[in-house]
Amino acid sequence: LKLLITSPDILMMLGCIFVHSPSPCNTSDGVDLEDLAATNTWVIMRSSPCSATCGLGLRIQELCPTGLAQANGTTCHVRQVQCLQSWQCGLRTQTVVVGQRVELDCLEEVMEAMGRFAFIVSWRFARGIITTDNSLFMQHDVPGLDRVVLDPVREEHAGTYRCDVQDTSYHKVKRMYKGVKVLSSRVLSLDFTKSLIQWEKPGDLWPNITLVTGKLYPGNTVQNMVLVSLSIAMVIAMIIFVALFIFSYWKRVTEQQPTFP
């Protein structure tokens, strides 16, 4: 006889002994502490978090023996079990440019490790919009079953793809929405590094424009322009000074002349 019980079960049964209350002991499914020493039981000592926040994932558990198994010197061992926190994964979006290759994977790494043929995958498509409204989706045939491959991607591929995953018992284990935004290559380049290189080399963007990389004017030309400007400014200043001097002299002479009645 081989049983698998968890640590809370043992704590509950120990509480039954010390409290002397038969009511909680009835929930132990007929397993008594006196029988533990005579049976081959395993207790889950440690359990890791689920490897996936949505959809099926894997959990690592450490099992240790009690009773006869422990007396026989059996050591603890580790096992992997499936876990499911939530089967709804929500909406994920991505923006691509026309001509690129886009691959939408529904099972992803964790579920593929369990075996892609252990699941039933169906796809639906809402063309031209990013949404989670299930009434807007139409059935979408996918040759690859577990993934949608758009190679090359075109503007009519824009929209929301919904994948539903069921196990062999037809229980839903995952639903995910993937929104795809497609931009024309003539409108905008999303490659920052490539765009930066193009902006640093304008000749690639405007081949008909002649680029001047040296100085627009020689050094002596600039020097001559500065000297001419200073000379003109000095001449104008002298003319203004002479005009003010003549005006002040004329005004003084006019004031000194006698006036006759």
pLDDT tens per residue across span 192-249: 666 666 666 655 555 666 655 566 556 677 788 888 899 999 999 999 999 999 988 8
Same domain, yes or no: 34 and 62: yes
CA distance 253 to 261: 19
Domain count of the fold of the chain: 2
Please report the sign of the dihedral spanned by the C-alpha atoms of residue 232, residue 236, residue 237, residue 242: positive
User: Tokens representing 228?
Assistant: 């001419």
Same domain, yes or no: 167 and 93: yes
Helix then strand count (H, E) for the chain reads 8, 11
Domain interval for residue 141: 88-183
Residue 70 within a domain: yes
More confident of the two residues 126 and 11: 126
Which amino acid is residue 103, in one-letter code?
E
Q: Give residue 20's pLDDT.
A: 42
Residue 216 within a domain: no
Q: Give residue 251's pLDDT.
A: 84
Last residue of a domain, one of 183, 214, 245: 183
* Helix, strand, coil percentages, rounded to 5, for the chain: 35, 30, 30
CATH number of the CATH domain containing 116: 2.60.40.10
Same domain, yes or no: 62 and 138: no
Residue 214 within a domain: no
Same domain, yes or no: 52 and 22: yes
Same domain, yes or no: 69 and 30: yes
218 Cα distance to chain centroid: 53
Tell me if 173 sits within 8 A of 84, measured CB to CB: yes
Residue 207 within a domain: no
CA distance 56 to 117: 14
